[in-house]
Structure 1
């Protein structure tokens, strides 16, 4: 039996997800990644390709199949899951990369955004609850600073889905806690990734630390919430934004 701790993470192919997998891999964890992109040889973690599931979280039926696949893979690990990190998210833009507001966002985009950003995390949590309980594991939902304030670049559907995810984190913490499963969230601010919107640098003046955050800094917060160091932290949302929310 594989006695390593195991992480399931969505949205592993870039940015925060990529940095998170690297952090857990360095600590000796087994990583099962879920992404709509195929595995890339640029992902430098052991057994990466064999533990990668190509999955479009916008497809509820495909997600159900993937959950069954994950559970089968965890059976070789004694049916235990130590951490679930719901990181994948989509944020559609308008023509020329413009922000989609509540008046202009088509309803089909609202539904797609909420399926990926909100429904997929609870579907995964419910689907893997037995394995999380067996390991007394942790769930980390990646919300956003946009979930608590109107953001100049994040669209309305994205922002409201992240606000809903923060509320879901509290509900899950209350419901999963008695099973020995801790559920928390992190809310990143302006993080220096390849998908930064043009003009993000102008927001630095609003950040007390006067710089963008790095994916590695967010990954460290996620790792903390999945470690014994946070064993009495449940239902929290940690702001990783240099003080931008103050």
Structure 2
């Protein structure tokens, strides 16, 4: 007898599944965790700030009446990731989902006001730090948590990329009036390199463990409104067919789809949700 297909509703069910979310105390990280909790999963938030991460995990448990986990983790240190994996497995017995969300937010100037965003001036230390967190950290987490999934009935890896991993940043929207062309702010190169690298990592992982039941995909969100300067918002939204930035809650359903059985035949894909920016 043929196996009965899951209903659409049931295909989104994450009941009892354990989801690792790096950068879990950040703006989007908390929203990814909410998506997991709303669908019955167990969100495990990992971030550098121990207190903030624990508070975010506790808030999820109170609101959604779910189990949760929150701990400090430097994802550039493989031994620390190994230790957290052991702790999570001891507590929950499984890992089903990894959301590689952690990344540095590259600044356009340092504390003394000097512009270091420009390609000619970017300190090598900043390059190394941004790549280490955003790309090397994702690779290490994928290796350590993904290998566990491959040995234990499979799972899902979701890399949080960006529209700027697909298209180049339009540097005109970062300009300040009155500054010369060679001193204008720009979006730092590290952001584009990290996000494009995550898309490449996704494709590699998608073809590495498919026989073990491990899928890998990337989400490429567009700009998210978070109190940015009105002039900047106006310049950016002129580049978006829908004429606005995303709300911070608008990616939860997309994440739910990509980490659940609703996307069971999706592997190696990059899903762009950017108001249409990348098609212009």
TM-score by length of structure 1 reads 0.88
- Displacement of 1:194: 5.4
**CA–CA distance in 1 between the matches of 2:104 and 2:68?**
25
**CA–CA distance in 2 between the matches of 1:53 and 1:45?**
14
Change (3 A) 1:132 1:122: same
**Counterpart selection for 1:94 from 108, 116, 119:** 108
- Displacement of 1:159: 0.8
- After TM superposition, the structure 1 = structure 2 runs for residues 149-164 of structure 1, keeping only pairs within 5 Å, are 149-151=167-169, 152=171, 154-164=187-197
Find the counterpart in structure 2 of residue 142 from structure 1. Answer: 160
For the pair shown, which has the larger CA radius of gyration, 1 or 2? 2
CA contact (8 A) 1:145 1:189 kept: yes
- Displacement of 1:195: 7.0
Q: CA RMSD in A?
A: 2.5
**CA–CA distance in 1 between the matches of 2:122 and 2:230?**
18
Please state whether the residue corresponding to 1:116 is helix, strand or coil. Answer: helix
- Displacement of 1:197: 9.6
**CA–CA distance in 1 between the matches of 2:132 and 2:100?**
13
Structure 2: gaps (5+ residues): 1-14, 175-186
**CA–CA distance in 2 between the matches of 1:97 and 1:81?**
44
Find the counterpart in structure 1 of residue 83 from structure 2. Answer: 68
**CA–CA distance in 1 between the matches of 2:271 and 2:218?**
6
TM-score by length of structure 2 reads 0.78
**Counterpart selection for 1:230 from 247, 252, 263:** 263
1:190 and 2:223 are equivalent in the alignment: yes
| 1:22-54 Cα distance to aligned partner (Å, 9 max, x none) | 111111111111111223336521189972111
| 1:104-162 Cα distance to aligned partner (Å, 9 max, x none) | 21111111111111011110111112432214210000011111222135310111111
**CA–CA distance in 2 between the matches of 1:33 and 1:168?**
22
Mean Cα deviation higher: 158-167 or 91-100: 91-100
**Counterpart selection for 1:25 from 14, 22, 37:** 37
**CA–CA distance in 1 between the matches of 2:120 and 2:230?**
21
Give structure 1 regions of 4+ aligned residues with deviation exceeding 6 angstroms: 47-50, 195-198
- Displacement of 1:5: 0.7
**CA–CA distance in 1 between the matches of 2:201 and 2:105?**
19
**Counterpart selection for 2:149 from 109, 123, 132:** 132
CA contact (8 A) 1:39 1:49 kept: no
1:174 and 2:207 are equivalent in the alignment: yes
